[in-house]
Each structure stands twice: as structure tokens, then as C-alpha cells.
Amino acid sequence: MKLKDFAKNSLLRPWDGIIVLILIVLSFAPIIVFSLNRTASPMQEAILSVDGKKIKTFDLSDSSKGYTYRYEDSDGDYNLIEVKDGRIRIKEANCGDQICVRRGWIKQSGETIVCLPHKLLIEIKSSDGGEPGSVIY
């Protein structure tokens, strides 16, 4: 069988390859759109909650200053929280498992750090840009 005969009997047409290539490229469009949407949030803040009660809010949009905040409860349990360059982490804690310390830095909207022994949660939320301080919950 010659190449010409094979081309005549083939079910593929000349434009089929181009259409398949365009569909493959378009399948990556949601990844690009959602990654651009995620990084374009104008204001981010981290909310510190202990046992479901909001304790403190950290502004992450101002990355010029770095500071630490020490949370200590009445039992003597403490967490040393560090904010730097638009990121936040638990630098030190006196809990047994140290999972919250090993979690490291977070900076994206929706990311969390949890310290279960101390019932502590740090969650990053972004504003929608509609009005200053309007946080999406």
C-alpha cells in the first residue's frame, strides 16, 4: 500500500490536526484564568481566630514592614506569629506536634495554618476591591 492510498483511505482530514491542537491549547485556559484571578486581589489580610473567636487581623498588603505578634492564652500556651513581605507564619509554638510551625509561610487567599492543640487558626482572606475593608467570607 502506497502513501497516497493510505491518505485516501484515512479517516483524518487535513484540518483535524489543527482542530485537535487548538482544543488542547484551550484546555489550559482555565488554569491561566484562575491563576491570574488569584494573584490580582487588591487587599489581603490574615485573620487569627482561637476557638472560633476572631482575635486579631493582620494586613498583608503592606509588605514594607515585618513584625512578630505573640498570642498567649490563660493556660500559658503561646504561638509566635511572624508577618513579613506580605506573608505570615507561626514562627514558634509550645505545642507538642509543631505542625503549625512546619507549615511555613502562607500568602495566597484561602490558605490556612492550624494549631489544633491551641485551637488556633490563621486564615488569609482577600477583599473584592469593591470598597476598602470589604472582605469576602
pLDDT of residue 123: 94
Q: Are residues 14 and 60 in the same domain?
A: no
State residue 1's pLDDT score.
Answer: 52
User: Which one is predicted more confidently, 1 or 18?
Assistant: 18
Same domain, 13 and 47: no
Banded pLDDT at 128 (limits 50, 70, 90): low
Q: What is the pLDDT of residue 39?
A: 52
Let me know whether 25 and 82 are in one domain. no
Please indicate, yes or no, whether residues 56 and 114 belong to a single structural domain of this protein: yes
- In this predicted structure, the answer to whether residue 127 has a pLDDT above a threshold of 80 is no
Query: pLDDT tens-digit profile of 39-59?
Result: 545 678 899 999 999 999 998
CATH assignment at residue 68: 2.60.320.10
Whether residues 60 and 97 share a domain: the answer is yes
DSSP for 63-122, please give it: -S--EEEEEE-TTS-EEEEEEETTEEEEEEE--SS-HHHHT--B-STT-EEEETTTTEEE
Residue 32 reports pLDDT greater than 60: yes
Query: Does position 78 have pLDDT exceeding 80, yes or no?
Result: yes
Confidence of residue 122 (pLDDT cuts 50, 70, 90): very high
Range of the domain at 52: 43-126
Q: Are 120 and 97 in contact (CB under 8 A)?
A: no
Per-residue pLDDT, 16: 87
Whether residues 56 and 28 share a domain: the answer is no
**pLDDT tens-digit series, residues 108-118:** 888 999 999 99
pTM of structure:
0.63
